[in-house]
Amino acid sequence: MACFVPFNSRNLEISLFAFRPMVVVVDELMEALKHFSLCTESLGCVHSAIFRSIHGNMIMWYGAWWKRSNENKDTLNATLLPMLGDVSRMAILIDHNFFDAYAGESRDGSPAAKFFTGDTISMGAVLLSRSNIDDLSYACLAIFRSRFAKMEGAVSGVCLKSQTLARTVSIFVWKSLQLCYSWILTSDRRSEVLPYLDKDQLSLDVKYDVFRVVYVSSDSAMRYQLNPSPKLLENGVEGRKVM
């Protein structure tokens, strides 16, 4: 099953957690993040995923949540951070935020950017020290619309805006890593962003990275169905699932 990023925030909102590993072998860290994903389901996380930077030293945790009030979101944040205890032994949490999706496109007409384990994803973030988030999001939307049709190999893309900062994030799902590289080598995101922004806006911070999707929450459900526990087998649950 696919994980997805919706093209609007009508029902869901997005959270992104960025980690910098402190260990060389990240297998245990990945398992801790997968466990974290499973625990968030009881808190209203519809689905989640883990992205690992292909060339850099960063791991992103993605979660799509049922919308909630700001007060409930503060309570959720206060609950989530202590749940990262095992992860904090192996990685530094360098950033986390909630985002609203406000635009997107897909080649097949889907209302969301869908991705599976093994897919290639590129993410670009724009942060201004002084800006109105609406002005920034309109500028990034104009850039997105002017570029997506020309991005050969991009399956879908979505624009996100931070709920607390003057920051936008764009996420693109690619047919292959090679096509993603081809686009990156022939484009200059910073020079494309600047013409859409007020010249008085200084301290423009543009970041870009390419990730491999290493886990989506549906993987755990599939593994559960394919490898049921001995106790379930004793109770005949496996047979009922097959039926």
Between 164 and 227, the more confident residue is: 164
- 51: closest CA among 133, 119, 150, 149? 119
| Overall number of domains in the chain | 1
CATH number at residue 71: 3.30.70.100
Q: Which amino acid is at 194?
A: L
pTM of the predicted model as reported, rounded to 2 decimal places: 0.85
In a domain, 240, yes or no: no
Reduced to 3 states, what is the DSSP secondary structure of residue 217? coil
Q: Is residue 182 part of a domain?
A: yes
Q: Which residue has the higher pLDDT, 126 or 33?
A: 33
Let me know if residue 204 belongs to a domain. Answer: yes
* CA separation, residue 199 to residues 122, 166, 193 (Å): 27, 16, 11
Task: Please report which confidence band the pLDDT of residue 17 belongs to, taking 50, 70 and 90 as the band edges.
Answer: very high
Residue type, 203: S
**Residue 237 domain flag:** no
Full domain range(s) for residue 214: 3-229
Q: Does residue 243 fall inside a structural domain?
A: no
